[in-house]
Structures are given as structure tokens and as C-alpha cells.
């Protein structure tokens, strides 16, 4: 009874208002910010609303993030760039056919970014980069560069192993990227207000894209004349 009051040993059901919240705050704010940035874009998101959604006051947000821009950067780091190490590790460890890696990469992107709110960040940057140069530079460095590097390394592996045709790497990267970015943008623009009949089913979309990317449109028999 005497010294049982150690702050770390408490009845687990107790709310522990101050302390426990403090650890949870940044995450709650990040989650709220992600939602709102995705919903309204960077410029139209008001920090006060982010705070309210996270259940705190305006001032509290600035206790954890020194400005709206820093908040945004933290959102990007938490939802996108933070995942590269894991992805890179996974693909470096992978053995087997490079086409399989590519399929896997695209479906992993879907499950961990495309299918989450994080895809909204992609759309947002494509929409607003021109007006927030500092953010654009940050995104280029933290997200675009590493993303390109990852895709480039996969393509190079395929070419080195004789599995892929030799193509221009700089632009080849976009063959993989374009469908993903398109999907992210579509989902957060036309996709949210488009009639059911025109909805894109992401899994089917991606399956078709990866299949065509790998095998091409042209019938192998007639490939010699492949539209050159």
C-alpha cells in the first residue's frame, strides 16, 4: 500500500486521463488530419477542425505539431514514406520470378496505401503540389524518389535476370506507377460521385493492368509487327 502508487502500475480500466492521452494524442491528431486533408485538401482543411475531430482544442494541436505544414508532413511520413523500409526489405529478400514480385508489389500497394485513406495523400499532392512548393519538394524527396527507386530496382532485377525486355528505366517506372496513381486519384475524385455502373473495382482494375503491363496488348503471334 505504501508505494503502490507507481504511475505505471494502475488498474488497467482506469481512464488515466492526462498521461495516457498524451501518448495517444499525436496518433489521434494524425488520424484526424489524414481524414480531413483527404476530404478537403491541404488549403481548405482548417487546423481547428482537425483539433476538434481529435477531441482537443486548437492550441493543443500546436503543442504537437509546430505548423499546419509540419502536421501534413507528419501525416505523409506516418502513412506513406514510413512504409518504404519494410517494402524494400521484403522485395530484396524475395526470390523467384520478377513478374511475381511486380504483381505482389502492386497488390501490396493497394492493401497498404490505395485501399486506405493514405491514397488520398497521393491525390492531394497531385492536385495541390503546384501551390505548395515546399510540400512538393518534401513529397518528391520522401515519397516520389524512394518509390521510383523501389520500382526501378524491381524492373532492373527483371532485366538483369533476362526475365524482362530491356526498356528505358526512367520512363519504365511510370508504366507501373501510372495505373496506381490513376487509381488513387480516381477513387478520390470521380469515384466518389460516379454512378454504380461506372465504378472501378480496384482488384479487377489492378489485375488487368498488371496483366497487360507484363504481357502487352499485342498477340504474341503477331508481335513481330507490334505496331512499330
Partner DNA sequence: CATGAATGAGCTTTCATTCAT
Partner DNA sequence: GATGAATGAAAGCTCATTCAT
Query: Which residues in 43-72 contact DNA (CB under 7 A)?
Result: 44-48, 56-60, 62-64, 66-69
Nearest to 128 by CA among 189, 42, 191, 67: 42
Smallest distance from a second copy to CB 141, Å: 10
**Distance from C-alpha of 207 to C-alpha of 210, rounded to nearest angstrom:** 5
Helical segments of 45-128, H only? 47-53, 58-64, 68-79, 84-93, 98-109, 118-128
Q: Is residue 196 involved in binding a second copy (CB under 8 A)? A: no
As a whole number of angstroms, the distance between CA 72 and CA 67 comes to 9
Q: Name which of DNA, a second copy, none residue 218 binds, using a CB cut-off of 5 to 8 Å depending on partner kind.
A: a second copy
Site for a second copy in 125-164 (CB under 8 A): 125-131, 133, 136-137, 139-140, 144, 155, 158, 162-164
| Alpha carbon 83 to its chain's center | 8
Residues 4-43 binding DNA (CB under 7 A) are: 7, 15-19, 21-22, 25
Instruction: Count the site residues for a second copy by CB under 8 A.
Output: 75
Contacts of 195 (CB under 8 A, 6+ apart): none
Q: How far is the CB of 180 from DNA (least distance, A)?
A: 29
Q: Which residues contact DNA (rule: CB under 7 A)?
A: 7, 15-19, 21-22, 25, 44-48, 56-60, 62-64, 66-69
Amino acid at each position: 500500500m505504501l508505494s503502490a502508487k507507481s504511475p505505471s502500475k494502475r488498474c488497467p480500466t482506469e481512464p488515466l486521463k492526462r498521461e495516457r492521452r498524451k501518448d495517444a494524442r499525436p496518433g489521434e491528431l494524425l488520424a484526424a488530419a489524414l481524414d480531413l486533408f483527404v476530404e478537403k485538401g491541404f488549403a481548405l482543411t482548417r487546423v481547428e477542425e482537425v483539433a476538434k475531430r481529435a477531441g482537443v482544442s486548437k492550441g493543443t494541436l500546436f503543442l504537437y505539431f509546430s505548423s499546419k505544414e509540419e502536421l501534413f508532413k507528419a501525416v505523409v511520413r506516418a502513412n506513406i514514406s514510413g512504409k518504404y523500409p519494410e517494402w524494400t526489405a521484403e522485395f530484396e529478400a524475395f526470390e523467384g520470378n520478377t513478374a511475381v514480385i511486380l504483381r505482389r508489389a502492386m497488390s501490396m500497394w493497394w492493401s497498404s496505401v490505395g485501399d486506405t485513406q493514405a491514397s488520398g495523400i497521393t491525390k492531394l499532392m497531385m492536385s495541390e503540389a503546384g501551390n505548395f512548393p515546399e510540400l512538393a519538394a518534401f513529397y518528391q524527396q520522401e515519397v516520389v524518389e524512394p518509390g521510383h527507386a523501389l520500382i526501378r530496382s524491381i524492373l532492373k532485377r527483371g532485366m538483369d535476370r533476362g526475365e524482362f525486355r530491356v526498356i528505358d528505366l526512367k520512363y519504365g517506372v511510370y508504366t507501373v506507377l501510372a495505373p496506381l496513381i490513376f487509381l488513387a486519384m480516381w477513387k478520390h475524385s470521380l469515384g466518389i460521385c460516379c454512378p454504380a455502373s461506372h465504378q472501378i473495382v480496384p482488384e479487377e482494375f489492378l489485375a488487368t493492368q498488371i496483366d497487360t503491363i507484363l504481357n502487352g496488348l499485342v498477340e504474341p503471334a503477331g508481335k513481330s509487327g507490334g505496331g512499330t
